[in-house]
Structure 1
Amino acid sequence: MNFIIKRRPGQGCKGLLRTEYRVWPCNLGRSGQLAVKREGDGGTPFGRFIPKRVYYRSDRVARPQTVLPIRPIHPDDGWCDRPGDRNYNRPVTLPYPASTERLWRDDSLYDIVVVLDYNDLPRIQGRGSAIFMHIASADGAPTEGCIALISGDLRAVLRLMRPDGVIISAL
C-alpha cells in the first residue's frame, strides 16, 4: 500500500497522510516541505521513501503490529547527524564521538519510530539525516523534518505498511 503526504492548504507545518481509503493528520517539519533538503533546515523532504524498519520503546509501549522489521530501542541507540562522519545518517551506539540524535528520549516522540530510506543509498553528506515517522508531540508542534502522527494513527499506519510500500511526500 502506498501513502501520500501533502501539506494542508495554508498550513505549512501541517499535513495529511493518505491512502486510497483513509486520511490521517500529520505534523511536518518547521520549514514545511522542501524540494532541496539540507541538514538542520527543519524541512520535510519531497520524494518517494520506503519504510525500512521500526524501533519502539518496549519499556513504555506495546510492540506495534507490523510486518516491517522491528526491534526495541536501547538506551545506547543513536543516529549520526554529523555531515562528514563515516556513519552520517546511520544508526550508531552511544556514546559516539560525532553529533548524534538520541533515540532513547525522555519525551514520547520516539516511543515508535519508522526509519525511512531518505538519503540512504547513496548517502549525500549534508542532505539531511534522521528523517523518520514518529509520534507527534501533544501540542501539535512541527518536527525538525520528520513526519509525526498521534500514537493511535501511527499504529494504524504501521498495520498497513509493507516493505515494498512507498511513502510519497508530494506538493
Structure 2
Amino acid sequence: MSDAARLTPGDTAPEFTLTDDTGAEVALGDLLGKKVIVYFYPAAMTPGCTKQACDFTDSLDSLQAAGYEVLGISPDKPEKLAKFREKESLTIRLLSDPDKTVMKEYAAFGEKKLYGKIVEGVIRSTIVVDEDGKVFLAQYNVKATGHVAKLRKDLALNDA
C-alpha cells in the first residue's frame, strides 16, 4: 500500500482545490496569510461526524477571531454536503473529495482499525496549516467527540 507519510509540523501542506457544498472551488493557496484548520471526516450525517461538525460550528466565531479558517473535508458529493449544512445549521466550509486524492496526500485515508478489523477508509484527522502554508499541527485518529475542545487546548486558545 502506498499511503502518503503522515504530515508533521514544518512540512509544506499539500496544495488542493476542492468544490464546496455551494459548488464553489476552494483552494488552500487562496488562504495563504491565514491559519487554516483542515479536518477530514468519513461521512456527512453520521453521528460522530455530525457531532464534530457541530462542535466546529459552535467554535467557529472564536476560532475566526483567533485568525483560523475551518475546512471540513469528506468524500461526500457537494449535494450531500449542502443537505448536511442545512440540516445541522453548519457555518463551517464543507469540501468534497470524492476520489480521496487530497485525503491520501494528507495521509487521512488508508488502513485503520474499525471494530477490531483492519479496513481501508477515511482516518479522522486534523491538520492545522499556518499562514505560510506549513503544517503547524497534525493529529491523526482523533475522536469525533471532544476533539474541538482538545484542539483549542493544543492551540492554546482560551475559551471565548
TM over 0.5: no
Q: When the two structures are superposed, what TM-score results if normalisation uses the length of structure 1? A: 0.25
Q: Which has the higher strand share?
A: 1
Q: When the two structures are superposed, what TM-score results if normalisation uses the length of structure 2? A: 0.26
Q: Which has the higher helix share?
A: 2
